[in-house]
Amino acid sequence: MIGVMADPSQHEAVQEVFELFKTPWEFCKAGGFYEVLVCANSTAVHASRAKLIVIYGNQALAWDAEHNVPVYPGEHNAMLETPDGETIPIYRGTATFLVEGGAILKELQSRNPAAYQVTDAQGGTVVRVGYNIFEEITALLGEGQPACNARIQTLDLHIAFLRNLLVSNGIPFVEIPPVPSGYRFIACLTHDMDHPSMRRHLCDHTMFGFLYRATIGSIVSGLSGRIALSTILSNWVAAMKLPFVYLGVAEDFWNKLLTYTALDGGAHSTFFVIPFRAHQGIRAEKLAPRARRSGYGAADVADLLGQLEAQGHEIGLHGIDAWHDSRKGRSELEEVARYLAAVPTGVRMHWLYFDESSPAALESAGVDYDSTVGYNDAVGYRAGTSQVYKPLNAVRLMELPLHIMDTAMFSPKRQNLTHSEAKQEVSQIINNAVRTGGVVTVNWHDRSIAPERLWKDFYVDLVEQLRSNGAWFASARDTVSWFRKRRSVRPRDLDTQEEINNLTYGMDLPGLCLRAHNLGPQSDL
């Protein structure tokens, strides 16, 4: 059992850390005995005895003075290096120490110890860590991390560091990893419905943007070697067909949503639909850019939504103002629900509008989960995790983080990657998922398999890569439900895999796994 000491202001972060770690713990009780003590508040450390004591803090603490260890508070934005060469960004302040030996983390620039391990007078182990894990988790789940650190699973690395301390010090413990039974990780395929029909864009910025990118933009990309000649020709043919599309005598080449039901290989995917046509919404207390308007609303695609729903796909809200106004959020949900058999429970905000007050606003609107936290201009982990989590200012709302988005990789104003460069990016995300579990959430927009983007082949390869690496394909709603199931289990009450199977029996989702450390020759029960 892990006992935790922390300031009351950090208790929400403590609880979320251990929901993600999913191992037995509790806040320290008077007179309680703990094999492991995790402390982010030094006031009671000396009165406690444990086999392993982990002391977090980015300032000099009483423990440092008692043991004559000089402490050097450092910068808020620092980078630490683990013994195996991984880097952990620190956002809320780092301390380094003047010690001889025992270093287990180093500040990357100065090479000074940022964490070290010693044996105390009673024979126990003390690890002094020069940051506050619960302050770091508060920053990651609130503000998120900058795009320059997008590739780093910072939150997951904090948990891995703590786990490794327990393992290396011989602490026996169990955990429920974020891995569905029978699979290696979860793949969640989602599609934002921004422009499901070219016919709805006559002489507007969307049409003119398409013509430029399909003609001049294609030639520029072709001359730079970024796209093939066949892609250039396909785009020019589509541009020449445009008048006939408007006349209704040629196929609307942006009407491709049903194609995804085949490309997704039988997976139940999630389609996020805009509720109202020509609503740009609010940004910073004024109208958002006109370009945020869409040429359709849920009423315009009602038949299409019915077909997708009948095939088992989930329909969610692609919100306009729900991120900041719960009343408007309820109205947006109700508008989409009018054309569905099942009430939508999830949302992703259009253009990924979001701030720290959004979880409370969405929860008040009646949303069960959100999937907005990601990057417009990067691939990776904005919240530093591959796990579904509960924002710290929410009661029930869950956040399904977004990891891979087509426009972030390929748009000229974003990363502007070649397909080979993008493959390296997504392969790293998938390899991380194979190693640590969790979910890989993909967003491929409705028109991204059509001219002028023509990113279909890359998407097909991505889905196959997810499948060949052992993913369970689930809708956003089912992904969140699986993580809710995991959160409902208390590891302290479980000793065997049979018990965990009995506890979760009957749920129409993959089971959970129980992983044991230092309990014997087997690491997985």
What CATH number is associated with residue 97?
3.40.50.880
One-letter amino acid at 4 equals V
Q: Quote the number of domains for the chain.
A: 2
**What pLDDT is recorded for position 290?**
92
One-letter amino acid at 94 equals T
Q: Which of 175, 199, 232 is the last residue of a domain?
A: 175
- Please list, in sequence order, all residues whose beta carbon lies within 8 angstroms of the beta carbon of residue 413, skipping any fewer than 6 positions away: none
- Please list, in sequence order, all residues whose beta carbon lies within 8 angstroms of the beta carbon of residue 108, skipping any fewer than 6 positions away: 78, 79, 80, 81, 87
Say if residue 68 is in the same domain as residue 90.
Answer: yes
Say if residue 41 is in the same domain as residue 162.
Answer: yes
Say if residue 312 is in the same domain as residue 403.
Answer: yes
Asked if residue 245 belongs to a domain, the reply is yes
Say if residue 28 is in the same domain as residue 127.
Answer: yes
Run of H or E including 127: strand 125-129
Instruction: Give the model's confidence band at 495: pLDDT under 50 very low, under 70 low, under 90 confident, else very high.
Output: low
Residue 23 has pLDDT above 90, yes or no: yes
- Chain-centroid distance, C-alpha 357: 18
Say if residue 198 is in the same domain as residue 335.
Answer: yes
Say if residue 204 is in the same domain as residue 161.
Answer: no
Return the higher-pLDDT residue of 49 and 35: 35
3-state secondary structure of 386: coil
The DSSP line for 359-380 is: HHHHHHHT-SEE---S-SS--S
**CA-wise closest residue to 459 among 309, 269, 307:** 269
Judge if the upstream peptide bond of residue 136 is cis by omega within 30 degrees of 0.
no
**CA-wise closest residue to 152 among 435, 383, 438, 373:** 383
Residue 32 has pLDDT above 90, yes or no: no
Asked if residue 510 belongs to a domain, the reply is no
Residue 28 has pLDDT above 50, yes or no: yes
pLDDT (average), residues 153-158: 97
**CA-wise closest residue to 70 among 127, 128, 123, 119:** 128
Instruction: Give the model's confidence band at 522: pLDDT under 50 very low, under 70 low, under 90 confident, else very high.
Output: very low
> Which tens digit of pLDDT belongs to each residue from 346-393?
999 999 999 999 999 999 999 999 999 999 999 999 999 999 999 998
The DSSP line for 461-505 is: HHHHHHHHTTEEE--HHHHHHHHHHHHH--GGG--SHHHHHHHHT
- Chain-centroid distance, C-alpha 169: 31
Q: Which of 459, 476, 493 is the last residue of a domain?
A: 476
Asked if residue 110 belongs to a domain, the reply is yes
Q: Name residue, tokens 């796990």.
A: 387
Asked if residue 397 belongs to a domain, the reply is yes
Query: How far apart are alpha carbons 231 and 251 in whole angstroms?
Result: 18
Residue 85 has pLDDT above 80, yes or no: yes
Q: In 10 A of CB 394, how many CB atoms?
A: 19
Provide the mean pLDDT of the chain: 92
Asked if residue 481 belongs to a domain, the reply is no
Asked if residue 271 belongs to a domain, the reply is yes
**CA-wise closest residue to 19 among 429, 394, 517:** 394
**CA-wise closest residue to 177 among 516, 404, 518:** 516
Whole-model pTM: value is: 0.93
**Residue 262 burial by Cβ neighbours in a 10 Å radius (0-12, 13-18, 19+):** exposed
> Which tens digit of pLDDT belongs to each residue from 180-230?
999 999 999 999 999 999 999 888 889 999 899 999 999 998 888 888 899
Say if residue 220 is in the same domain as residue 279.
Answer: yes
Q: Which residues form the domain of 436?
A: 188-476
Say if residue 25 is in the same domain as residue 162.
Answer: yes
Instruction: Give the model's confidence band at 499: pLDDT under 50 very low, under 70 low, under 90 confident, else very high.
Output: low
Query: How far apart are alpha carbons 180 and 4 in whole angstroms?
Result: 28
Percent of the residues in the chain that have a pLDDT greater than 70, as a whole number? 94
The strand order across the sheet containing 78-81 reads 25-27, 2-5, 36-39, 52-56, 125-129, 113-119, 103-107, 78-81, 87-90
Say if residue 83 is in the same domain as residue 204.
Answer: no
**CA-wise closest residue to 367 among 338, 330, 331:** 330
- Chain-centroid distance, C-alpha 365: 22
Percent of the residues in the chain that have a pLDDT greater than 90, as a whole number? 79
Residue 339 has pLDDT above 70, yes or no: yes
**What pLDDT is recorded for position 92?**
94
Run of H or E including 3: strand 2-5
- Chain-centroid distance, C-alpha 127: 30
**What pLDDT is recorded for position 507?**
62
Asked if residue 484 belongs to a domain, the reply is no
Q: Is residue 102 within 8 Å of residue 69, measured between CB atoms?
A: no
Say if residue 145 is in the same domain as residue 204.
Answer: no
Say if residue 241 is in the same domain as residue 325.
Answer: yes
3-state secondary structure of 114: strand
Query: How far apart are alpha carbons 468 and 464 in whole angstroms?
Result: 6
C-alpha distances in Å from residue 409, one per residue of 263, 373, 434: 20, 16, 22
Say if residue 35 is in the same domain as residue 133.
Answer: yes
* Cα torsion through 14, 16, 22, 27, rounded to 10: 30
Q: Which of 150, 175, 200 is the last residue of a domain?
A: 175
Q: What is the CATH number of the domain that holds 470?
A: 3.20.20.370
> Which tens digit of pLDDT belongs to each residue from 293-338?
999 999 999 999 999 999 999 999 999 999 999 999 999 999 999 9
Query: How far apart are alpha carbons 38 and 123 in whole angstroms?
Result: 17
Token output for 84: 């195996």
Asked if residue 496 belongs to a domain, the reply is no
3-state secondary structure of 286: strand
pLDDT (average), residues 243-269: 92
User: How are beta strands 125-129 and 52-56 bridged, if at all?
Assistant: parallel
User: How are beta strands 314-319 and 346-349 bridged, if at all?
Assistant: parallel
